[in-house]
Structure 1
Amino acid sequence: MELKLHIDGENVTAQIDRPGESLLQTLRDRLGRTGSKNACEQGECGSCTVLLDGDPVCACLVPTAGCEGRDVKTVVGAVPKPVRDAFVACGAVQCGFCTPGLLVSVADLLAREDDPSDPQIREALAGNLCRCTGYEKIIDAVHHAAEASR
């Protein structure tokens, strides 16, 4: 099955051989876009978070067949430089496995709220699990990115 997708500002064609193939599998295995990480494959960890038509989703749960003609933004196309820089400056990156999903979720939050409170940040990141940093450095990075973006 051939599908036309709009990924990170680019029109691409993906060949899939089964309708249930996940968007994550298509991105990584068929299109070589490995920024989104594959971890739990159950929508529990958030490492594969992408924006689908502007909404954050776990790409491991979304069938690619349902994405024809839709806008997909991965960590490559969804995350502005101030957000990336803030994560580095605040030490919010350790092993890096959760980082792509966190960055996408933070970019989505900051697109909606220019000065989020700690509870708003925690809610926005509730679907993203980090096993290395604890969350304080990540929350600091969100505040830092918000300030840099204003």
Structure 2
Amino acid sequence: MAGSKYFNSYLHVNGEEREVHFRAADTLLTVIREELGLTGTKYGCGNGDCGACTVNVDGWPQKSCLMLAIEALDKEILTIEGLKFTPIQQAYVEKNAFQCGFCTPGFIMNAHSLLSLFPDADDETIQDWMESNICRCTSYQEMMEAFHSVKNQR
């Protein structure tokens, strides 16, 4: 594209330094999916409302459709692919905490951050955090059961 400024840089994703080529206007979501091929992070609404694109940046949940890739330089990025075999993923399976599965990666990333940052979170805090994501299939009860099963194991 004429006049577009491209950057060649590195992102630290899932414990690996990955070379990326992106425009200044590219979102982290676009780079994760299209440049790195990590398609577990989903494009949902594109405006931060649904949470399907949630990843962890320096341990905190971040809606990657709202963050520019250039803002993620020198930060630790964790996607759903980086959470292989974690207790929260296993709990989602055991509690059938998904139906279509489209929103599941975002919910799991959000829950993972909450469990890591605030392991003793009260019910109100848990509810507040989980309300930042949307499930159209309404698996909320099962998701809360999955979350509490992991929290209670700690």
Q: TM-score, normalised by structure 2?
A: 0.90
Q: Which residue of 2 aligns with 1:146?
A: 151
> What count of residue pairs does the alignment treat as equivalent?
148
Report the 3-state secondary structure (helix = DSSP H, G, I; strand = E; otherwise coil) of the residue aligned with 2:125. Answer: helix
Choose 78-87 or 47-56, whichever is displaced more: 78-87
Q: Which residue of 1 aligns with 2:34?
A: 29
Q: Structure 1: which 4+ aligned runs deviate by more than 6 Å? A: none
Structure-to-structure mapping, 1:5-24, within 5 angstroms: 5-16=11-22, 18-24=23-29
Report the 3-state secondary structure (helix = DSSP H, G, I; strand = E; otherwise coil) of the residue aligned with 1:131. Answer: coil
Q: Is this contact kept in 2: 1:115–1:143, CA < 8 A?
A: no
Report the 3-state secondary structure (helix = DSSP H, G, I; strand = E; otherwise coil) of the residue aligned with 1:56. Answer: strand
Q: Is this contact kept in 2: 1:79–1:103, CA < 8 A?
A: no
Q: Is this contact kept in 2: 1:94–1:132, CA < 8 A?
A: yes
Task: Quote the Cα distance in structure 2 between the aligned partners of 1:29 and 1:104.
Answer: 20
- The structure with the larger Rg is 2
In structure 2, give the amino acid aligned to 1:7.
V
Q: Is this contact kept in 2: 1:27–1:33, CA < 8 A?
A: yes
Q: Are the structure 2 counterparts of residues 109 and 83 from structure 1 closer, same or farther at C-alpha, using a change threshold of 3 Å? A: same
Task: Quote the Cα distance in structure 1 between the aligned partners of 2:21 and 2:117.
Answer: 34
Alpha carbon RMSD of aligned pairs, Å?
1.5
TM-aligned CA deviation for residue 80 of structure 1: 5.7
TM-aligned CA deviation for residue 79 of structure 1: 6.6
Structure-to-structure mapping, 1:47-58, within 5 angstroms: 47-58=52-63
TM-aligned CA deviation for residue 78 of structure 1: 4.5
Task: Quote the Cα distance in structure 1 between the aligned partners of 2:58 and 2:134.
Answer: 23
Q: Which residue of 1 aligns with 2:3?
A: none
Report the 3-state secondary structure (helix = DSSP H, G, I; strand = E; otherwise coil) of the residue aligned with 1:61. Answer: coil
TM-aligned CA deviation for residue 15 of structure 1: 0.5
Structure-to-structure mapping, 1:60-71, within 5 angstroms: 60-71=65-76
Q: Deviations over 1:58-117 (max 9, x none)?
A: 001111112222111111224762101111111111100100000011011111233443
Task: Quote the Cα distance in structure 2 between the aligned partners of 1:79 and 1:44.
Answer: 26
Q: Which residue of 2 aligns with 1:120?
A: 125
Choose 54-63 or 133-142, whichever is displaced more: 133-142
Are positions 1:94 and 2:107 aligned together?
A: no
Q: TM-score, normalised by structure 1?
A: 0.92
Task: Quote the Cα distance in structure 1 between the aligned partners of 2:40 and 2:135.
Answer: 17
Q: Is this contact kept in 1: 2:98–2:139, CA < 8 A?
A: no
Identical-residue share of aligned pairs (%): 36
Q: Is this contact kept in 1: 2:10–2:20, CA < 8 A?
A: yes
Report the 3-state secondary structure (helix = DSSP H, G, I; strand = E; otherwise coil) of the residue aligned with 1:60. Answer: coil
